[in-house]
Amino acid sequence: MKLAIIGSNALALEASLRFHIHGAAVTWFIHDSKINRSIFEQDQDAEYFISSNGLDILKTLNLSYVAEKKFNYENWKNQYFLPLVNFLSQEQRVKFHQVSSITKRYLAAKETPKGKSRFLDLFRLTYEVNPQEFIKEQEQQNPETFERLSQELVLSLQTHLEMYEDFDLVLDLRESDWIKSLSVTGHALGEKKVSREHLSYGHEALDLVKNSSLISEMRELVLIGSSPLAAEILMTLSPWLKDERNRLFIISHEDWPFAQFMEEAQEQFKNQLKDVMIYFESEFEKETTSFHHKLREWQQLDDFVQAKIPRPVEPIPRLVFFSGHNATAVDQLIDKKRLFLTLEKPDFREGLKQPENNLLDLKTIGVDRVLVALDFERKPLEINLSPDEKGFFVLNPSPISFEKSWESDLNRLKGLENEIFKLFTPAHAH
């Protein structure tokens, strides 16, 4: 069984180890070995991102992974991930190249051979190769052939090369870590024209708010989405938001933002998010009570005194929700100091969080920075296969904050193994 595994994460590593043990011919495509970091990872237990397969192989190599009480990314990367990647590089094939397309070798997406299954035809993976790496590899492996290459030919190989390889099965285990637009519809007017200095997507947005020095001078931010990443960003921003000069707008198309997170996340993370919400709701409640007290006092003044004393200003919460809303357009003034978002709410949605904002006719907000944390998608990859292609398997890693996410991923991988063994028998089976 010749198997291609695509992914740069712990789940792809585990799948590569499992199918190596099963006797498959594995080619693991790693484009980017950087695993997206999360503040949630520090609260995972020591068994996070490891398995008995990995630990057993390390033992045969006279290596060990010394787990701390809580998951430590650098420790895991250096003692577990990288040694096992190196092991697989020796035993199987590990390609540090980006896959650009997955197709059948000869079949069109809607074509089935007469009297045969589409599984008869192999999968063809096309991937990009850095020409300098390719030239160096050829020089080492085929020095005589390399010497016969003309200098002109070597110089012509200065752009990325495309190569392909054919496989029996393909496992696409890439993470969904790409956000297409700040609008849930996939398109916001003006988005491509504004300066990226004021617009951050996905993990880039999380990295920004982790750096307190970068946001210390910002006074108004907008967070778009109520995904697990959005919850993580909100929790990270809590110290910044407690500065009375600062305000955060949260735009969510969900009627009740963070409802899914509060249902599926681990209890400790639910409580952390609750604490943030309660803090700012309590703060606003105190400000509102104080406002009504001052307003009553002002209303009791004589008219000539009222004319000299400004009417108390109604407070605005520093954590503002526009629930049930879409961000539909973004604009930037010539001085490029702030972004302005246009918000809309359709009649078929109910904004249940701070519903008073549903009644506003004009919904344009100006902010220093837009943080986009909508649900992730997979980065575009040209896939020309039938919708139910036998032999092509897709598995998305679970969000790190969800209950028993790694255990769940291992169980789903086991289910995927069972599906594959309906097509192929493991090498050691009788």
DSSP 146-190: HHHS-HHHHHHTTS-EEEEEEESEEEE-----B---SSTTS--BT
What CA–CA distance (Å, rounded) separates 101 from 128?
10
Burial of 283: CB neighbours in 10 Å, binned 0-12, 13-18, 19+: middle
Enumerate the H helices of 211-353 as residue ranges: 212-215, 228-241, 259-264, 267-299, 303-306
Q: How far is CA 404 from CA 39, 41, 259, in A?
A: 16, 12, 19
13 phi and psi, to 5 degrees? Answer: -60, -50
What CA–CA distance (Å, rounded) separates 123 from 31?
19
Q: For every one of its 430 residues, what pLDDT tens digit does the chain have, with 9 covering 90 and above? A: 899 999 999 999 999 999 999 999 999 999 875 666 788 888 888 889 999 999 999 999 999 998 888 888 889 999 999 999 999 999 999 999 999 999 999 999 999 999 999 999 999 999 988 766 666 666 677 776 666 655 555 555 556 688 999 999 999 999 888 899 999 999 999 998 888 888 999 999 999 999 888 899 999 999 999 999 999 999 999 999 999 999 999 999 999 999 999 999 999 999 999 999 999 999 999 999 999 999 999 999 988 888 889 999 999 999 999 999 999 999 988 777 889 999 999 999 999 999 999 988 779 999 999 999 999 888 888 999 999 999 999 999 998 899 899 999 999 999 999 999 988 776 565 4
What CA–CA distance (Å, rounded) separates 375 from 225?
7
Q: Which amino acid is at 109?
A: A
Q: How far is CA 425 from CA 5, 93, 157, in A?
A: 18, 21, 42
Domains, the chain, in order of start with CATH, read 2-176+379-421 (3.50.50.60), 196-372 (3.50.50.60)
What CA–CA distance (Å, rounded) separates 64 from 289?
60
Structure tokens at 36: 């997206």
* pTM for this model (two decimals): 0.85
> Which residues, at least 6 apart from 321, have a Cβ–Cβ distance to it below 8 Å?
249, 250, 252, 257, 351, 353, 354, 357
Other C-beta atoms closer than 10 Å to the C-beta of 237 total 21
